[in-house]
Chain A
Amino acid sequence: MATLAVLSLVASAAVALALGSVDVPLSRVLAVLVRRLGGDGGGVTVLEDQLVWQLRLPRVLGAVAVGAVLALCGAVLQSLTRNDLADPFLLGVSSGATVGAVTVMVLGIGVGGLVASTAVSTAAFAGALAALAVVLLIAAAGGRGLSPHRTVLAGVAVAYLCSAYTSVVVIMHGEGDAARRVLSWTLGSLAGLRWESTLVLLAAAAVALVWFSAYAERLDAFTFGEVSALSLGVPVTATRWVLMVATALVTATTVAYAGVIGFVGLVVPHLVRPLVGHRHVAVLPASAWGGAVLLVWADTAARSLVDRQEVPIGALTALLGVPVLIWLMARRPRT
């Protein structure tokens, strides 16, 4: 099964590498990869190398990393809060990041000497951390160690506050195509990823996979409820803190580079559980795989569905995610 998973991911990535506005046949794509990996590429041109190795590969691997991170975080948070609708943006990360991004994009407040796109990434990451801190402060204020209920409410409250700020700034100060740029940032995009950013994303994905897998057994305990977890000897509060902060940090990293890509984190864990069961030792890697494959295909569709125009990837994942969400709700009518 693991081999099958790896193969399907590699095949998806290979197809994605061959698609783009400039035609590069699959055989030439392979030649570029072979040459770069130390083999004999057989007369690879500079342009082919630029297109495949420098533009497309970082983007495809970025999709793998972002998809894996989002789905992993979704799986962890759903178990941690025992809430089917939990997703990686539960803790205000996306809305906080949007506040940061909008502040730079619309108000033009620069971040010392950085070019625009880097400044937006940096501000988005900072905004996400700030929102996370506020959510945790509100959630923890009542004592009782981060109850899921309070955390979800705090996340909603902060998200509303952030979106109010965003709307006001865009309407009052937006010049030119500001509204369009903000909207397109909010819907996420893997366009423009270069190796520098992709390596960070791959590192985040690796850390998330290893770190969360180490908590697999504790997460199993959580799914039976807080009391059962306590009776099994799980340090409930400490585990919650560590995992919530960790998921928010890796999610914020993806948001900084790729914007807010919705529904992957919500939907993928639900899709893989029927395949691999409910044990986290299987759910976590399976989610990572599912998120990666889904996002590689969503991104491929995003850049090739419409000629010469990127379809926002967040819209594509939502188009896929909404029917699944409806199916989930119909299947489990409890609140």
Chain B
Amino acid sequence: MIRRTVMPVASLAAGAVLLLAGCAGAPEAKSEAAEPDARFPVSVDNCDHDVVVESAPERVVTLNQGATEVVLALGLGDRLAGTAYLDDAISERWAAEYEKVPVLAEEYPTHEAVLEAEPDLVYASYASAFDKGVAGDRSALAGSGTASYLSPFGCPEEDQRPDPTFDAVWQELHDVAALLGEPDRSQSVVAEQRETLDAVSEEAAGAGLTALWYDSGDKTPLVGGGLSGPQLILDAVGAENMFEDVQRGWGEGSWEDVLAVDPDVIVLADASWSSAAEKRAYLEKDPVLSELTAVQEGAFVTVAYSESTPGVRMVDGAAAVAGQLADLGLQG
């Protein structure tokens, strides 16, 4: 198995050498041919793990939707040899490109299914992707010639994870683009996202509004806290997150606090396991919560779950919230 994994790299290298030999005199040709590969080796420090890539990865396997979408956003879908595990659906803008990539499994593929895809880079959003039964330990992968990258937000240890910021999201894009040997790609994607974000901030559609970010749960709501994608999005649109003082990504809120604050607007996360419609129906049916001003006035905003977690789609989430807030025309 190990030999098979190394094969494409080896044959590529061999091919390059043959090509060189055919072209010109050895010494000059060598330095000339090395030119396009001047970007390599690339090494990136990732969750206290040194990722070293010797040549452009051509068979990337992405696990988890976030990782898949980063590669697609960079316009490098043709490098994907396989992908697995969606949370909801790939953003429409990349759907066509995604269709061309083999899906290894609905959720996590087995270890053998990962090896069968012969990846030279495994890129995942969550540490669980490197469990034994899935892609396997990262050092072991490196030993058999497969590099790996884990989204910094998914690092196994909490102190390895960056605070969620747009800059941290963009750093991941830069890392991945560098590992794939296309650093320019992330520059242009980030520039575009920065522009969208600036426009959203300028518009400040949520100025003066207090918002509840209602992720899931009914008996006690799971809400977006102060260290979360929702916080960044609400900051961007100029609204106040009523649970900003919950110092974590997602945390349990209390309906008592929600009643006491009576937020101007409720943002509903839309996920396959907890749809926005379901949550809205619950709020409207509950004898107490239905008396909230936002519920009475239908001041709801809906955001796809994958646009609400720190990742390449979070800017889309901010734009979606801004657009819907503007449509609601609430007075802060």
> CB-defined interface of A155-192 with B at 8 Å, one 1/0 digit per residue?
00000000000000000000111100100000001011
Contact A115 B282 (CB under 8 A): yes
Report the interface size for chain B: residues with CB under 8 A from the other chain. Answer: 30
Selected from B251, B259, B286, B288, the residue in CB contact (under 8 A) with A308 is: B251
State the CA gap A310–B246 with chains docked (Å): 14
Enumerate chain B residues within 8 angstroms of A117, measured Cβ to Cβ: 218-219, 282
The verdict on A196 contacting B287 (CB below 8 Å), with A116-B218, A117-B282 known, is yes
The verdict on A50 contacting B288 (CB below 8 Å), with A20-B256, A177-B273, A308-B252 known, is yes
Enumerate chain A residues within 8 angstroms of B216, measured Cβ to Cβ: 176-177
The verdict on A176 contacting B254 (CB below 8 Å), with A54-B288, A115-B282 known, is no
Name the interface residues of B232-257: CB closer than 8 Å to any CB of A: 246, 251-257
Enumerate chain A residues within 8 angstroms of B287, measured Cβ to Cβ: 54, 194-196
State the CA gap A308–B219 with chains docked (Å): 13
State the CA gap A175–B287 with chains docked (Å): 30
State the CA gap A21–B259 with chains docked (Å): 11
Enumerate chain A residues within 8 angstroms of B272, measured Cβ to Cβ: 175-176
> CB-defined interface of B286-297 with A at 8 Å, one 1/0 digit per residue?
111001000000
Selected from B219, B260, B273, B285, the residue in CB contact (under 8 A) with A176 is: B273
Q: Which residue of B lies closest to A194 (CB)?
A: B287
Selected from A20, A51, A178, A189, the residue in CB contact (under 8 A) with B273 is: A178
Q: Which residue of B lies closest to A180 (CB)?
A: B222
Within the complex, what minimum Cβ distance (angstroms) separates B54 from chain A?
Answer: 37
Report the interface size for chain A: residues with CB under 8 A from the other chain. Answer: 27
Enumerate chain B residues within 8 angstroms of A194, measured Cβ to Cβ: 286-288
Contact A192 B288 (CB under 8 A): no
Within the complex, what minimum Cβ distance (angstroms) separates B218 from chain A?
Answer: 5
Contact B288 A21 (CB under 8 A): no
Selected from A21, A108, A176, the residue in CB contact (under 8 A) with B256 is: A21
Enumerate chain A residues within 8 angstroms of B305, measured Cβ to Cβ: 176
State the CA gap A108–B219 with chains docked (Å): 18
Enumerate chain B residues within 8 angstroms of A181, measured Cβ to Cβ: 217
User: B278 an interface residue at 8 Å Cβ cutoff?
Assistant: yes
Contact B256 A55 (CB under 8 A): yes
User: B87 an interface residue at 8 Å Cβ cutoff?
Assistant: yes
Contact A309 B273 (CB under 8 A): no
User: Interface of B with A (CB < 8 Å)?
Assistant: 87, 216-220, 222, 246, 251-257, 259-260, 271-274, 278, 281-282, 285-288, 291, 305
User: Interface of A with B (CB < 8 Å)?
Assistant: 20-22, 46-47, 50-51, 54-55, 108, 115-117, 175-178, 181, 189, 191-192, 194-196, 308-310
Given contacts A47-B259, A191-B219, 11 further A-B contacts (CB under 8 A): A21-B256, A54-B288, A116-B274, A176-B271, A176-B273, A178-B273, A189-B220, A192-B218, A192-B220, A194-B288, A308-B251
